[in-house]
Structure 1
Amino acid sequence: MSKNAIIIGGGIGGLAAAIGLRRAGFAVEIFERSPELKEVGSGISLWRNALVALDRLGVLDVAKSRGVAGQKGGFRTPDGKMLLEMKAGAHGDTTAEGIILLLHRAELLSLLLDAVGRDTVTVGTRCVGIDQTERGVTARFENGREVSGDLLIGADGLRSVVRESLFGPAKPNYAGYTTWRAIVPFDISRLSPGETWGRGKRFGQWGMANDRAYWYATQTASEGQGDPPHGRKQGLLDLFRCWHPPVEDLIEATDESAILHNDVYDRPALSRWSVGHASLLGDAAHPMTPDMGQGACQAIEDAVILADCLQANSDIPQALRDYEVRRIPRTSRVVRESRRAAWIAQWSNPLACRFRAALLRSHYVAREQAKQMAWMITPQV
């Protein structure tokens, strides 16, 4: 007799978890609070660790058919000079094609949804709390519905209701900067893939399939500061005036309505994710800043290892403890490294920025960056 799993949250992590749990023999139900399943209009980088995990879930070939692989990027100055090429170290497959795949977040969500089955997801259903006994767990929803199962996974994001139910309320940490993102039709041969670092601001650009570019911009700012009074697009053009091509052209080519704006947050690492028959996954467990490009990658890794642990041990509480023991040290380090990278990248003091540029040009930093990247993208599944 199969066991029943309840997943709260129908994003990338929740859908990946559902695929893995089905393969481990669970009957799965997903509950999403939004009225429809959709992702924001931005790109997502899937590094080698996530690609191997997607292969374990049986969806890598579909993902490759929808994405762009093999882009080599780097860190640049606002006038376009290269500071440091992005490298992944000397272990395993270090060709760009084996390291990173970039695709639209909505396209990744869609292929995961196709794999798990759209009838598995109930939308417009907000979880308000959970209750447990020694034998199972019950999710309570805003509409009065209650659903019971053998296992519950909270994959409900930065402000997770499941996390709060298990460990109490706590505010997320503001990372000190805000970000704008967009996808725009563009000649990707004109791009300079990677990030450009200025004083307290950055601009990133990557090519996508079907002649589209994904770009993002950051600025050190007070929490909740909002957009400039003269508009989001014009404010960005003013902020990045005279930066190397095609920065201004990318902004100019984007409709104002297509530019997303969000403050950036993370949370300190938890010492445990699981209580009884319930646990956390993805941003609900370890929200991180996007500076290492590992948010979705780590969520997909979580999904595969969660399924492995539950398949190896029929005692669900013990399997969940095994899962968190395998995942917490790694994800905690990625959270810390992402926050550290954000802090350095957002420096605004002129002397600090000159020092940063000198460091990035040094052979020592290049070697350390390669080692760090190699560790981070080495498959863990």
Structure 2
Amino acid sequence: MKAIIIGAGMGGATAGIALQNMGCRVEIYESVREIKPVGAAISIWPNGVKCLNFIGLQQQIKTLGGNMAAMAYRDYRTGETLTQFSLRPLVERVGEYPYPVARAELQSLLLDALGRERISLGKRLVELEDDGRQVTAWFEDGSSASGDLLIGADGAHSVVRGYVLGHTVERRFAGYVNWNGLIAAENGLAPADQWTTFVGQGKRVSLMPVAGGRFYFFFDVPLPQGLRQRSDTAKEDLRGYFAGWCAPVQRLIDRLEPAGVNRVEIHDIDPLEQLVRGRVALLGDAGHSSTPDIGQGGCAAMEDAIVLANLLRTHSLGIEDTLRRYQESRRQRVGSLVLKARKRCDVTHGKDPAATEDWYRSLARETGEHIIDGLADTIEGGPL
């Protein structure tokens, strides 16, 4: 069996490894001429970690992952702790640790495990054809590739999605802008083994530990779409949005290097009923682009990869039959994650100010059990 994968990001690379492990021939085609990670870091929750374990990267992800032993929310003005609790009960309940990781390091790990020779760069997809026996992809440079199936792992702006659905899908602006990056950890910002989030005014400032004595940081601000803001004005912009916030937030802003700050307008797409057409399947953001508010975008893509590989390994009624089973296995799961992230996004970022204020008040009463229940419910919905 030969699989053509469009997109060499986290989902495409994981799918490539999983399919290779079951004996499938894999070719990956990526539109960019140089692979660069999108964003500074990512939280791999235990359902995603289990997927990496499944494809043989158990020790490697432990090395790359940060020690996120606890979680805390703090008041935006005073810096006082609203709630703080250990994540050990979550680990014991779901059977694995969460690992925040730098995206560049995770991507390098996946590409090395896959074999970089499997990837062809500068291949922008322009057309697909499925003749019932094989799928052929044509690229902008005039070249083509054929295989028994094709996996569209080409991200939120997916070309393959248009083929599967027969129409384009508009992305929905989620109502906020995110600034993110990596910075050296120091106790004046937050404990080095804790995910710390400052909340207030419908905004967030978050610090999450990654390996190498670093924090992944992000700032969220509810803003209109399309503002003319540049990376070299990030510090000034953030000082304005977070004026009056507590000392650790001001210290974080002061330490930023504008060249190391990413600015992203956050979008998602409505859940799709269709993830498959014939011998073509969508995977990851191509099929279920979500906001990052529950940290499941990358994890869901890895789940897709494992489910698809296992179904191809264990079913013998043909590729089209297997892909339909993949669709039925994943549609409800990924749709629920998109909507759960959207709901959390709206509460966190003040879409209904009263609901957001209720959330702030609830954090002051939180012992950790309610949050851990929510995390575990999401994690335990995965295939492993």
Deviation at 1:228, TM superposition (A): 7.8
CA contact (8 A) 1:188 1:212 kept: no
Q: Deviations over 1:15-66 (max 9, x none)?
A: 0000011112210000111111221351111111011111101012111112
Uncovered stretches (5+) of structure 2, i.e. residues with no partner? none
Query: What's 1:108 paired with?
Result: 106
Query: What's 1:356 paired with?
Result: 359
The one of 249, 258, 262 equivalent to 1:256 is 258
Return the alpha-carbon distance in structure 2 between the equivalents of residues 92 and 174 of structure 1: 34
Q: Deviations over 1:129-156 (max 9, x none)?
A: 2111111111111111111110100000
* 1:127 is the counterpart of 2:125: yes
Please list, as runs of the form range in 1=range in 2, the aligned pairs for 1:1-381 lying within 5 A after superposition: 3-78=1-76, 79-85=78-84, 93-94=92-93, 98-167=96-165, 168-187=167-186, 190-191=189-190, 193-227=195-229, 231-314=233-316, 315-347=318-350, 352-362=355-365, 367-378=369-380, 379-381=382-384
Deviation at 1:98, TM superposition (A): 3.4
- C-alpha spacing 1:120/1:360, structure 2 compared with 1 (3 Å): same
Amino acid paired to 2:169: A
Return the alpha-carbon distance in structure 2 between the equivalents of residues 298 and 77 of structure 1: 31
CA contact (8 A) 1:13 1:303 kept: yes
Sequence identity (%): 33
SS of 1:128 mapped into structure 2 = strand
Aligned Cα root-mean-square deviation (Å) = 2.3
Return the alpha-carbon distance in structure 2 between the equivalents of residues 119 and 159 of structure 1: 25
SS of 1:156 mapped into structure 2 = coil
CA contact (8 A) 1:88 1:374 kept: no
How many residues end up aligned between the 2 structures?
A: 377
Deviation at 1:88, TM superposition (A): 6.5
Q: Deviations over 1:146-192 (max 9, x none)?
A: 11110100000001000011111121111111111111223257415
CA contact (8 A) 1:191 1:207 kept: no
CA contact (8 A) 2:196 2:208 kept: yes
CA contact (8 A) 1:89 1:371 kept: no
Uncovered stretches (5+) of structure 1, i.e. residues with no partner? none
Amino acid paired to 1:290: P
TM value normalised by structure 2: 0.92
